[in-house]
Amino acid sequence: MNTGKHRFVSRFLAMVFWLLLAGSSVLAQTANYVHPLDPLSREEIAAAGKLLKESGKLPANARFQTIVLNEPPKAEVYAFNAGENFRREAFFVAYDRANNKTYEGVVDLRGQRVVSVREVPGVQPSLMLDDALMFQSIVRADAQWQQAMRKRGITEFGKVQVEMWSAGNFGFPEEQGRRLFRGLSYLREDSKNPYARPIEGIIAVVDMNARKVLKVIDSGVVPVPSATADVDEKSVGQLRDAPKPLQIVQPNGASFEVRGNEIRWQKWRFRYALHPREGLVLYTVGYEDQGKVRPILYRASLSEMVVPYGDPSAGWFIRNAFDEGEFAIGRLAVPMEAKTDVPDNATLLDAVFANESGSSLDAKRVVAIYERDGGVSWKHVDYMTNQNQSRRARQLVVSIFVVVGNYDYGFNWVFHQDGTLELEALLTGVMATKGVPPLSANGEHAEHDPYGHVVADGVAAPHHQHFFNFRLDFDVDGRENTVVEQNTETLPQGKNNPYGNAFAMRETPLRREAGAQRQLNLATHRRWRVINPAVKNGLGQPTGYLLFTGENSAPLPGANSAVRQRAGFMNSHLWVTPFDPGEMYAAGYYVNQSKAGDGLPKWVKQNRELEKKDVVMWYSFGVTHLPRPEDYPVMPVHKAGFKLMPVGFFTRNPALDVPK
């Protein structure tokens, strides 16, 4: 469901908001790092920035798009014991706007030296705060854009909100070799929701380095909707009677422990970070079983997401936003409020990011950790004695919300007591809107195109999809894992199936990358399981974890469309690759204005072996949003996601020992 994407200045107004909130960070990052996977502290970020600026290896005017932990090799992390020394490095991306050059490299923080700096030719870093701060003024000062506004009767240009959208890459010759964004216009005036009043048909193509509008595309005047659609209590009008108070009380405190960036709850042990690009990252996820913490996942995170729109008109075919790779979704995390965004028993934590000058900024209250009721965990009544045995489930939630322009996303990692780990993606916010002819005198809309639905007078919302790809680096009971595919099929009626009722599940290993690009199949209840063939449970079965899929879609843009070419991860629901620390993002590292074919489609051409290897599972799921009036002016939360469930990892129900 969607809300349309985007993006822009609103997006980076979120970053400005952080700057205003700058202050001390709470638990999440400190200078006293104790583990190789701890995020960089503000002191470490500043040290890396200082070393780089003083090294002479970067242009003097270079700005930092990111400075993050350069994660150490997996073997070093596993070998680490508390109190030991470990490597501490920062990875950076810097941009020289004057010469349109991108650099990346590594800083050794313990050795206080710059390890490497290299230019990465032909790429653009994702949206930077510098871009956002100057974008609106560039567009508003342009004579072509002003003329287009006057054609629509708009002369107070300061009351127009110009949204930054990514430029994509459509092969237009005049756009090659430039740092571009596209500007969409909305008549904001005094309202709080500018998306109710789209100024349809106007696209400004902006060269950010030249600080000028290259061209303005005007596909014709459509009346600007007159009605506002603010969603604050005053604007909504008469409110219903409030339900009686519901309180969540933990008189003895929370059941989880936060030790720096490590979290312990029930039998779960894991680490977390708020990465500026990926958002929430989970590390070294394990479950305690008979006194031993058994590894399940080494690293899990959102690898990429993209939102393609299905309207082919001049102002819409270019809207294919990669929220992670083009905008760094983690940096768009916003402060959360207890009792609304999260329950009032939540613990709210801060994060630290690098700013573009090479120092730090604090993001306050952007990670929430809380327990919630999980319903019935298990139950059985002995009907002979009427004796009831049942247990109430508890869940632990680690949560963030990000604001991507008009759209809002929540991401919850949910830990269950029975060993299940769930990812919930929450889609809400305001849909991307399109101006259409208003209602006629008889209250009917004029005929409009088939690429969206009317949601208000003069306002339509185009069809679109949201595609998420999650990178799941499994280490089930160790690093030598195999992915097997499960298919369940009806057996033919015959001698061994005389009544025709038989069906059987078969597992087939995915042996190489070429055969590990898989689609869901409803007819065979297709699922995928990561197993460790060398470790057996008490029944002699290989231990494993199952990817239990939820809502999903096939990509609807054509196979040759620009977005399908750049977001090739959409083409399969499942990909499996051997672990490679350089393969982190499903559409490639530099996605902004990227060309076709990077990321997963490129890597799997190696056709590497997968059996009994350190494997990475990449799961793509899509939400197809056909807008409805009930999604306007703000969309009710739509929930999608998946579960990772133990299958043979335990010998019996691991939640049997939950006390009553």
Q: How far is CA 481 from the centre of its chain?
A: 26
CB 623 within 8 A of CB 640: yes
Task: Collapse the DSSP code of 14 into the 3-class scheme (helix H, G, I; strand E, B; otherwise coil) and give the result.
Answer: helix
Q: What are the strands of the beta sheet with 434-435, ordered from one edge? A: 434-435, 459-462, 452-456
Closest-CA residue to 414 (of 394, 430, 433): 394
d(CA 544, CA 444): 57
Q: Which helix (H) or strand (E) holds 17?
A: helix 8-21
CB 125 within 8 A of CB 102: yes
d(CA 158, CA 282): 43
Query: Could you tell me the end-to-end alpha-carbon distance of the chain, in angstroms, rounded to an integer?
Result: 39
CB 434 within 8 A of CB 448: no
d(CA 571, CA 549): 16
Q: Classify the phi-psi angles of 280: left when phi > 0, otherwise alpha if psi is within -120 to 50, otherwise beta.
A: beta
Residue 45 dihedral angles phi and psi, to the nearest 5°:
-60, -45
Q: Is 323 a catalytic residue?
A: yes
d(CA 463, CA 515): 32
DSSP secondary structure letters along 215-274: EEEE----PPP------SHHHH-SPPPPPPP-----TT--S-EEETTEEEETTEEEEEEE
d(CA 452, CA 434): 9
d(CA 204, CA 277): 27
d(CA 100, CA 122): 9
Residues in the chain: 660
* Tokens 């990227």 belong to residue: 594
d(CA 448, CA 571): 31
Query: Which of the residues 103, 407, 545, 585 is marked catalytic?
Result: 407
Q: What residues form DSSP beta bridges with 236?
A: none
CB 653 within 8 A of CB 645: no
Query: Which of the residues 311, 323, 473, 475 is marked catalytic?
Result: 323
Closest-CA residue to 444 (of 461, 462, 463, 458): 458
CB 176 within 8 A of CB 124: no
Cα distances from 578 to residues 327, 475, 575, in angstroms, run 28, 12, 10
Give the amino acid at 151.
Answer: K
Task: Collapse the DSSP code of 389 into the 3-class scheme (helix H, G, I; strand E, B; otherwise coil) and give the result.
Answer: strand
Closest-CA residue to 78 (of 281, 269, 284, 258): 284
> What is the bridge-based pairing of β-strands 387-404 and 360-382?
antiparallel
d(CA 383, CA 121): 72
* Tokens 């009971």 belong to residue: 477
d(CA 14, CA 9): 9
Q: Which residues contact 283 (CB under 8 A, 6 or more apart)?
A: 37, 270, 271, 272, 273, 298, 299
Positions marked active-site = 323, 407
